[in-house]
Amino acid sequence: MSRECITLPEVADPGASSPAHSPRNRTTSTATVFTEPGCEGDFFTLRPVTGHGSARLQLGSVVFG
């Protein structure tokens, strides 16, 4: 478990047209996704291996742990 906040490439790129969405967690760790870069804003937790969110869940960063 890294517990390091990862800002998603879709959000870090100023030329990107939209935020990331529809997350899937296929790791063996819990993933906490955030609506803003830098692990800020609202958050949603995805279970290990099978956790997922809908296309409406737009996100900017993630931390595994």
User: Computed over its alpha carbons, how large is the radius of gyration of the chain?
Assistant: 11
pLDDT at 1: 53
pLDDT tens column, 18-37: 778 899 999 999 999 999 99
Half-sphere exposure of 51 (CA within 13 A, CB side): 16
* Distance from C-alpha of 7 to C-alpha of 50, rounded to nearest angstrom: 22
Q: What digits encode the pLDDT tens for the residues 31-56?
A: 999 999 999 999 999 999 999 999 99
Sorting pLDDT into bands at 50, 70 and 90, what band is 17? low
Cβ atoms 41, 54 nearer than 8 A: no
pLDDT of residue 12: 78
Instruction: Tell me the pTM.
Output: 0.85
